[in-house]
Structure 1
């Protein structure tokens, strides 16, 4: 169980350090060109990456189910992330490196997301029906803590000081570039126990399918699920909605702290660290509740609290930084538990032998819904500008995130049944 959870700890710097706080911010800096140009390149590369993930995650998962080579596939993908992460050291702060940087970022995102879907498919092998919630929560919580721990080492060791560890400075982007080497090594080292302990399935259920046959089999699986077990289909839809809302909380949290609540750049980093620690601890603790009352109850309770807290942040937005410190950190208590319980719910209802394929669909539906939260955030910001005539109405975007969360909650309540905590998987 711990070896499995260490994969989350080891790979989380890609999300926390590379794509959120450090490297992606470095790539859109003025050294690489105008803000519009860097945003355009980022949009093109990450859109291609999203489409690629949606297309390959379920068929790759399907083939790992058939061949039993789950851990071999996960190892290749994971260490590809580590290699790409380290290779980002080559991206100097010059316009000529912009496309190369975002192409590598896109490739790493594909490898990371597809690896995550394969990793999720291993959950039923490292847990039992009685502790699947605790195991899922442990992994997700370890991810939060590992990512922020790596970020703090990098921030204190390389980013914040004028002269960092090993004499590294910000000249030519070396502080950020050297941090990428550390992240690559972090992923490689901390995922070794996962691959030493967990092995491929010794009893494969078939041979690998070709591309066209894989998509035919995937379509047949979706039709079969719709005819015989629609709760899987409805849960994939509901979770795609509320997971996008959950992602939106972290995506826009820093911008809201800075632009609406007056945080300094340093305060944003401190807030981000506190948010991830709270989310990690809350997620680990929520696993026991998941096993006791069932994952659906944890998801519903978390989403209700998130919608209520987001609405309160909107109403009290004029209250200054204290409002966001209190309510923003309160939001973080419920984000991780909803994510971990979502994974454990799906693990409980997946048909035997289909974990890789269904978790691949889980990744695909999440990617299909991923434009929704940014769209709603932007629409609500624009609506706020029309209604108030103010120059800064970013706080209206909070309402857009709450609407996406509420939509997922409504589908969950209407179409997704409870599963008995501790019950055997169907």
Structure 2
């Protein structure tokens, strides 16, 4: 059942829902992006280029698993009316996998173990995220969905910033010396995994206990094979009735994968290529999150004036310029400048992409097509990690030892450029509705 409709959009259901995103930020910002993957690709695990390649390979396989499995999970949960229970189950699995990272000791023999755990976290996080996003329609109305969605996004940014700050001053550069801050056998970095698992679990509890379970949309359970049949039928119907919308879903899937890769590999590149210490990476992450939030707000205002397509195209061009600047930067100061420019353009691209689709969707099909938007966004989630790793592999025999990782940036830029090229011929919402 859905919570009662209220004119007050910022209520206990909104807080409970957004609290999950706050907790999830520890997984995304601390474990997958800026801290634990930096630890995993450091020289503690052997050659840094090799470690980066292993991580990208694991994430590529994880992306393939997401592409195959995630598109039908939301559909099946909606049909059975078990949306919340799957959020709970997947969140608990996510917490367990995150906690297991404590056992990734600083040795080359633990490299694959750590990379597999990171990939598993990305997969399970997507399983939970599909149903989490679907809850948005339960706790909001058409008049408040934008505010509620934006509030959740903002809570995620703030939760990530606070989690990173606690990790920096509690474990990496501790203000007060305590046993958990010991660097022996990388204890402080391994304990970050337990901290992140606890953070994720504690802030997920409000959703577990306050948000009601969804109602079943079908009295008949959908077998797995039929779930794919329903998915392909929806895509086939779009091909016949609204190819412009379908082409947008395809282009956004590509460029959003590039956007995700910027955060996934940003910390790895900062440490491995530009020599950032762990504390420097975290400080950059905190500033970068603030800049990304600012960019999202400014991009939202430009969206209403110029339209979402121009904002997305401008953001992608800005990302390509900034990414090229990162590639050619000789030192840390260049990374700070162009890296923050990347963060500035990521937020508007993400926000305007959602706005673009909202303007294209025919009335009465919002839930169906936002669900397809979420799943197509992961259908090519192997692309950017795969090209990141391929670029490193191709550069390794051609450049000096330890400098091939820089070329992974080019793999990400190829994905962003491809997304931009796919977007250019698509009609803007105003044109398509004319």
Report the TM-score range of the alignment, normalised by the length of the smaller protein.
0.7 to 0.9
Is the 8 Å Cα contact of residues 25 and 160 (structure 2) preserved in structure 1?
A: yes
Is the 8 Å Cα contact of residues 274 and 335 (structure 2) preserved in structure 1?
A: yes
User: Which residue matches 1:341?
Assistant: 352
- Give the superposition deviation at 1:49: 2.1
User: Which residue matches 1:269?
Assistant: 282
Is the 8 Å Cα contact of residues 133 and 344 (structure 1) preserved in structure 2?
A: no
| Greater shift in the superposed pair: 185-194 or 117-126 | 117-126
Q: Does 1:50 align with 2:66?
A: no
Is the 8 Å Cα contact of residues 78 and 112 (structure 1) preserved in structure 2?
A: yes
- Give the superposition deviation at 1:202: 2.9
- Segments of 5+ residues of structure 1 without an aligned counterpart are none
User: Which residue matches 1:326?
Assistant: 337
Is the 8 Å Cα contact of residues 296 and 341 (structure 1) preserved in structure 2?
A: yes
Q: Does 1:370 align with 2:384?
A: yes
Q: Does 1:114 align with 2:127?
A: yes
Is the 8 Å Cα contact of residues 49 and 404 (structure 2) preserved in structure 1?
A: no
Q: Distance in 1 between matches of 2:171 and 2:271?
A: 23
Q: Distance in 1 between matches of 2:134 and 2:232?
A: 19
- Give the superposition deviation at 1:235: 1.7
Per-residue CA deviation, residues 211-247 of structure 1 (Å, 9 max, x unaligned), is 2122222222221121122233212221122123323
Q: Distance in 2 between matches of 1:366 and 1:271?
A: 28
Q: Distance in 2 between matches of 1:87 and 1:77?
A: 15
Q: Distance in 2 between matches of 1:292 and 1:193?
A: 37
**What secondary structure sits across from 2:319 in the alignment?**
helix
**What secondary structure sits across from 2:254 in the alignment?**
helix
Q: Distance in 1 between matches of 2:184 and 2:290?
A: 31
User: RMSD between aligned alpha carbons?
Assistant: 3.8
- Give the superposition deviation at 1:275: 0.9
Instruction: Give the TM-score, by structure 2 length.
Output: 0.79
1:207-356 map, 5 Å: 207-254=220-267, 257=270, 266-284=279-297, 286-287=299-300, 290=303, 294-311=307-324, 317=329, 321-346=332-357, 349=361, 351-354=365-368
User: Which residue matches 2:372?
Assistant: 358
Instruction: Give the TM-score, by structure 1 length.
Output: 0.81
Q: Distance in 2 between matches of 1:36 and 1:382?
A: 8
- Give the superposition deviation at 1:269: 3.3
- Give the superposition deviation at 1:59: 1.1
**Which residue, out of 406, 411, 425, partners 2:417?**
406
Is the 8 Å Cα contact of residues 34 and 267 (structure 2) preserved in structure 1?
A: no
- Segments of 5+ residues of structure 2 without an aligned counterpart are 1-13
Q: Distance in 2 between matches of 1:414 and 1:79?
A: 43
Kindly tell me the number of residue pairs found equivalent between the two proteins: 416
